[in-house]
Amino acid sequence: MNKILLVEILSKREPELVRYFSNNLINEIDEDLGNHIRNILNDEFLETGMDDPNGVIINKRGKEIEELIDYVGNLYM
């Protein structure tokens, strides 16, 4: 899991959420907040995670974002 990338994305899109990961508050992430963070990551994935306009070729950043989406999902499941 690329925590640096996670903090970078959250800092850019919703800075107030960074505290959950920088202050080790991940056990406070419930299903609603987790889904919200996953939606943020999904938006970032769609904007920066693919190398072609058809969304077929996933780049390295996209693969890392996919891992983050899974990681956040596992926090509350």
DSSP letters of 46-77? HHHSBSSTTS--B-HHHHHHHHHHHHHHHHH-
Q: Mark 35-70 as b/e (b = at least 16 C-beta within 10 Å).
A: eebbebbeebbeeebbeeeeeeebeebbebbeebbe
In this predicted structure, what is the pLDDT of residue 37?
A: 97
Range of the domain at 22: 3-76
Which single residue is written with the structure tokens 């505290």? 19
In this predicted structure, what is the pLDDT of residue 26?
A: 86
pLDDT digits (tens, 9 = 90+) for 52-73: 877 778 999 999 999 999 999 9
pLDDT digits (tens, 9 = 90+) for 4-52: 999 999 999 999 999 998 887 888 899 999 999 999 999 999 999 988 8
In this predicted structure, what is the pLDDT of residue 56?
A: 79
Rounded to whole angstroms, how far apart are CA atoms 18 and 10? Answer: 6
Number of structural domains found in the chain: 1
